[in-house]
C-alpha cells in the first residue's frame, strides 16, 4: 500500500454488502490510511451487513436517509466530531428505482415511483453537497465522488428511469462542483463505472447478458468493483487535486467503442445459425 490517504477523513455512503463498490472502497481507503464514517438508510442497513465492514475498518456507522436534510445535517455534524476535523473525501454510492424493482416498462413509468427514485439517486447528491457547503465541513482540496453509469449518455432500454437519474446526477456534479471549487477549493466528479455485479446492479432486467456483452466490447474488459475502488482512492488522494467537474469513464474502454471484433463474430455466428 502507498498511504495515499494517511490522515484524511471522510464519509462513505451506500455500503450494503461485500459486493458493493462502496464496501470495496471503504476497505481500500482503510488500507491507504484513511479514516471514515459509514452511512446508509436504516432500511438498507437492515438488508445488508454493514456492521461487518465497520468492525473490519474500525469505523462508526451513522444511519441517515440521504433524502432528508435533517438526517444529513446530523450526519455531517457527527462525522466531523467523530473524525476530529473537517471532511477530506465523500463517496456517494446511492441509487434506486422503484420502476425497475417492479418491472414497470419505461414507457409506462409510475411517476410517484419516478420521483422517489430521482430523489434517492440524484437529488440526494445535491442535498449532501448543500449540507457540506453550508456547514463549511469540507477541507480545502477535498474530493467528492458520485458513481454513475453511461446510460446517462446512451440508450440502455432496461436501465429504465435510472438513466434519467444518472444524467441528472452528473449535471448536479458539474453545477455544484463549480461553486465548491470556486468557493471552497473542493473538487467534485462522477465516475462512470462498467456494469458491475453488485446487489443493486443485478436487479436490472437482462443484467447478466449485458455484463457479458460489455466485457466483449471493452478492449480491457469490464472494470471490477475492486478496481473501481482503486480509482476512487486515487480521486480522493492529493494526486488528483486539479481534476474537477469531470465525468470519468472507468469501463475498460467501452464508452469509446462502436463495435468489437468479438461482438461482430458472435453476431455473424448467430446469423449463420438462423440461416
Q: Which residues are annotated as a binding site?
A: 14, 20-21, 94, 166
Cβ contact 75:11 at 8 Å: yes
Cell numbers at 171, concatenated: 449535471
Q: Where are the beta strands (DSSP E) in 6-103?
A: 9-13, 35-39, 60-61, 87-92
In 10 A of CB 98, how many CB atoms?
A: 17
DSSP 134: H
Cα atoms found within 13 Å of the Cα of residue 224, Cβ hemisphere only: 7
DSSP readout, 176-200? HHHHHHHHH--EEEEEEEPP---TT
Cβ contact 169:125 at 8 Å: yes
Q: Which residues are annotated as a binding site for NAD(+)?
A: 14, 20-21, 94, 166
Q: Which of 133, 159, 178, 231 is catalytic?
A: 159
Which long-range contacts does 174-177 make (Cβ < 8 Å, 24+ apart)? 174/245, 176/125, 176/126, 176/129, 176/130, 176/133, 177/144, 177/244, 177/245
Instruction: Name, in order, each residue with C-beta under 8 angstroms of 211's C-beta and a sequence gap of 6 or more.
Output: 195, 196, 197, 222
Q: Which of 2, 106, 133, 149 is catalytic?
A: 149
Active site (annotated) includes residue 2: no
Q: Where are the beta strands (DSSP E) in 17-59?
A: 35-39
Active site (annotated) includes residue 159: yes
Cell numbers at 191, concatenated: 465516475
- Active-site residue set: 149, 159
Amino acid at each position: 500500500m502507498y498511504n495515499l490517504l494517511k490522515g484524511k477523513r471522510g464519509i462513505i455512503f451506500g455500503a450494503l454488502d461485500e459486493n458493493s463498490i462502496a464496501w470495496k472502497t471503504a476497505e481500500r481507503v482503510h488500507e491507504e490510511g484513511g479514516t471514515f464514517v459509514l452511512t446508509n438508510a436504516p432500511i438498507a442497513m437492515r438488508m445488508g451487513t454493514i456492521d461487518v465492514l465497520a468492525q473490519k475498518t474500525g469505523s462508526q456507522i451513522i444511519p441517515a436517509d440521504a433524502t432528508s436534510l435533517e438526517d444529513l445535517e446530523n450526519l455531517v455534524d457527527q462525522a466531523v466530531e467523530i473524525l476530529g476535523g473537517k471532511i477530506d473525501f465523500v463517496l456517494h454510492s446511492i441509487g434506486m428505482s422503484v420502476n425497475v424493482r417492479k418491472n414497470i416498462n419505461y414507457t409506462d413509468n409510475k411517476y410517484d415511483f419516478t420521483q422517489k427514485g430521482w430523489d434517492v439517486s440524484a437529488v440526494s447528491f445535491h442535498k449532501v453537497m448543500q449540507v457540506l457547503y453550508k456547514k463549511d465541513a469540507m477541507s480545502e482540496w477535498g474530493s467528492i465522488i458520485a458513481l454513475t453509469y453511461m446510460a446517462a449518455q446512451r440508450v440502455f432500454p432496461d436501465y429504465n428511469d435510472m438513466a434519467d437519474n444518472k444524467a441528472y446526477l452528473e449535471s448536479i456534479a458539474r453545477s455544484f462542483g463549480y461553486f465548491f471549487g470556486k468557493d471552497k477549493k473542493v473538487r467534485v466528479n462522477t465516475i462512470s463505472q462498467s456494469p458491475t455485479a453488485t446487489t443493486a446492479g443485478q436487479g436490472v432486467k437482462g443484467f447478466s447478458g449485458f455484463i457479458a456483452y460489455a466485457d466483449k466490447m471493452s478492449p480491457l474488459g469490464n472494470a471490477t468493483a475492486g478496481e473501481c475502488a482503486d480509482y476512487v482512492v486515487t480521486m480522493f488522494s492529493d494526486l488528483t487535486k486539479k481534476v474537477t467537474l469531470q465525468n470519468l469513464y472507468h469501463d475498460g474502454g467501452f464508452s469509446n467503442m462502436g463495435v468489437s471484433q468479438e461482438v461482430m463474430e458472435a453476431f455473424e455466428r448467430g446469423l449463420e445459425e438462423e440461416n
